[in-house]
Amino acid sequence: MISNSFLHISEEVRMALQTNRPVVALESTIISHGMPYPQNVETALRVEQTIRDCGAVPATIAVIGGNLIAGCTAEQIEYLGKQGTKVTKASRRDLPVLVARKMDGATTVTTTMMIAHMAGIQVFATGGIGGVHRGAETTMDISADLEELAQTPVMVVCAGAKSILDIGLTLEYLETKGVPVIGFGTDELPAFYTRKSGFGVDYRLDSPSEVAAAFIAQREMGIHNGMLVTNPVSEQYQMDKNTIDIAIEQAVAECNEKGIKGKATTPFLLARIKELTGGLSLDSNIHLVLNNARLAANVAVELSKYGAKC
């Protein structure tokens, strides 16, 4: 735990951490920028309930009025969902000014990992991470999420990398930075909307206790990386590969034509893919997030058996 005067941990989350009960962090950019209202708020609340049903405590993370909140209230989640893209998408570089100006910010994977670590939370569930974008050899668009995974010891449970990214280069980057890429019950990296990407993971682990054991080993050796646990979307909710590939190609082409760059890229692509698939991608997205929340909670329960402290 890295205490500071900006960090506000909710009573429930604080009690859980103090008594070594399992806690799962959740991000807020997925609420404001990742899904439309009202599905974003409904999903965020369902994700929290799923975590509770698995015996863990959810901690949705956001910046509200300059405070780093670990454990948003339902009202705060509703507020972020309604504000949508009017809220600043807050990455590592944004925190100093947002906090000093007492502004709001929706936390990405990067800032959620940072604030989770400050609060002493070790496990974080989300949908997808940012990565190396296609064409990064000229744009240099590489998500700060990869650097955060390199330097902050939090486990991120996601559904793999979607092909709006250059998946091969994303894996190379993670390898260089020493981030273990775990496949949960799979040898192949999931591609978010589909169960397979054509790229292998570093290790396949088949149970939450095995994942917890690897995380504990990493921590005890003082290896100060994050860990990426990739969990394939369930068969029932995976998308047809051809349908999603066509939508992604078109969305990426439009993004380039419109000259959309920087932090606007990922939200644009997600929204456009949803439109192009007539909402099918949103359905898949919602279910994979719930699936990840379940796995993260199960791993957090296993971790708590170690009497684990950061």
Provide the binding-site residues for Mn ion, judged by CB under 5 A.
141
213 binds, among Mn ion, ligand PSU, none (CB under 5 to 8 A by kind): none
Q: Which residue among 162, 263, 274, 302 is the active-site one?
A: 162
254 is catalytic: no
Q: Tell whether residue 194 is a contact of ligand PSU (CB under 6 A).
A: no
Q: Which stretch binds ligand PSU (CB under 6 A): 77-85, 127-135, 209-217, 301-309?
A: 127-135
Q: Tell whether residue 128 is a contact of ligand PSU (CB under 6 A).
A: yes
Least separation in angstroms between residue 210's CB and ligand PSU is 26
27 is catalytic: yes
Q: Tell whether residue 292 is a contact of ligand PSU (CB under 6 A).
A: no
Least separation in angstroms between residue 33's CB and ligand PSU is 6
Among 14, 195, 219, 263, binds ligand PSU (CB under 6 A): 263
Q: Tell whether residue 266 is a contact of ligand PSU (CB under 6 A).
A: yes
Task: Give residue for tokens 């969305």.
Answer: 251
d(CA 96, CA 111): 12
Is residue 193 within 8 A of residue 283, CB to CB? The reply is no
Closest CA to 207 of 182, 224, 178, 189: 182
Encode 191-215: b = buried (16+ Cβ within 10 Å), e = exposed.
bbbbbebebebeeebeebebbbebb
104 binds, among ligand PSU, Mn ion, none (CB under 5 to 8 A by kind): none
Query: Distance between alpha carbon 75 and the CA centroid of its chain, in Å?
Result: 21
Among 48, 78, 104, 145, binds ligand PSU (CB under 6 A): 145
| Neighbouring-strand partners of residue 90 | 107
Least separation in angstroms between residue 132's CB and Mn ion is 9
128 binds, among Mn ion, ligand PSU, none (CB under 5 to 8 A by kind): ligand PSU
Residue type, position 263, single letter:
K
Give alpha helix (H) positions in the chain.
Answer: 11-18, 29-32, 39-53, 74-83, 95-100, 109-119, 136-139, 144-151, 167-176, 208-220, 241-257, 265-276, 280-304
270 binds, among Mn ion, ligand PSU, none (CB under 5 to 8 A by kind): ligand PSU
Residue type, position 179, single letter:
V
Task: Give residue for tokens 């708590």.
Answer: 304
Q: By CB under 6 A, name the binding residues for ligand PSU.
A: 27, 29-30, 33-34, 108-109, 127-130, 143-145, 263, 265-266, 270
Give catalytic residue positions.
27, 162
